Structures are given as structure tokens and as C-alpha cells.
């Protein structure tokens, strides 16, 4: 097959980051839908929750914020995020996301193998 089509409404959410949020897997990496993408997910971070310190070995990550606001930490740096922001994180870099806003943070997480 030369293309894959999915509908967000048909993808069930699953727990993410030890229960601090949830995500929808937009494709199955084991199904070889792409050799370069490690994961493409839509993430949900409830108010007051944290996707705690972690890194993605050998994969760059892009976080496209579609709703909400909070703080993003990358090693010894921090910044705020809001809807419309795009955050790129290099492979093997420790980072975390804190939702200290007033609504659930939603966004797309795209990890590409380097």
C-alpha cells in the first residue's frame, strides 16, 4: 500500500507517561507504515499533570501544541508553550512538559529516527 489513512475518532486513547496523561497512536510502528517514524501520537496532558523527565534515544521529536499552555523544560533550559507553538527536541535530550494552565494540553508528538 502506498498510503495509510486513519481517522482520529476511531483511534482509542491509551495511557501515557505512567498515567500522567494519555495519547492516541496515529499509526502502528510495528506495521511498517514508515521506516523513519518512530511514533506519531496525539497527546493529552490534564491540568496539573507532567510528562516527566525522559528522552527518546536515536529519535528527534516535534511537539505541535494544538490546545492549552504550560512549561517545557529541556535539560537546564525552560520556556512556556501555548497553542500554535512547535517545539523541536534533538535525540537523546532530557525534557519534560508541565501543564500548569487552565485546560488540558493537546498536541501532536512526531518522533523521527535519526
Dump pLDDT digits (tens) for 55-101: 999 999 999 999 999 999 999 999 999 999 999 999 999 999 999 99
* CATH code of the domain covering residue 17: 2.60.120.10
Give pLDDT, residue 27.
Answer: 73
Give pLDDT, residue 36.
Answer: 82
> 1 in a domain, yes or no?
no
- How far is CA 6 from each of CA 21, 33, 44, 54, rounded to the nearest angstrom? 22, 12, 19, 28
Which helix (H) or strand (E) segment holds residue 52: the answer is strand 50-54
Burial of residue 33 (number of CB atoms within 10 Å: 0-12, 13-18, 19+): middle
Q: How many domains does the chain have?
A: 1
> 80 in a domain, yes or no?
yes
Residue 30 burial (CB count, 10 A): 6
Give residue 101's domain range.
12-113
> 6 in a domain, yes or no?
no
- Helix, strand or coil for residue 66? strand
Using 50, 70 and 90 to split pLDDT, how confident is the model at 28? low
Amino acid at each position: 500500500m502506498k498510503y495509510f489513512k486513519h481517522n482520529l475518532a476511531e483511534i482509542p486513547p491509551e495511557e501515557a507517561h505512567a498515567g500522567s496523561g494519555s495519547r492516541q497512536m496515529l499509526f502502528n510502528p510495528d506495521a511498517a507504515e514508515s521506516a523513519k517514524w518512530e511514533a506519531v501520537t496525539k497527546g493529552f496532558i490534564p491540568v496539573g499533570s507532567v510528562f516527566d523527565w525522559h528522552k527518546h534515544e536515536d529519535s528527534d521529536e516535534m511537539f505541535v501544541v494544538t490546545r492549552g499552555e504550560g512549561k517545557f523544560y529541556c535539560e537546564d533550559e525552560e520556556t512556556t508553550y501555548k497553542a500554535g507553538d512547535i517545539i523541536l527536541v534533538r535525540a537523546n535530550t532530557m525534557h519534560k512538559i508541565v501543564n500548569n494552565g487552565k485546560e488540558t494540553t493537546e498536541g501532536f508528538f512526531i518522533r523521527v529516527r535519526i
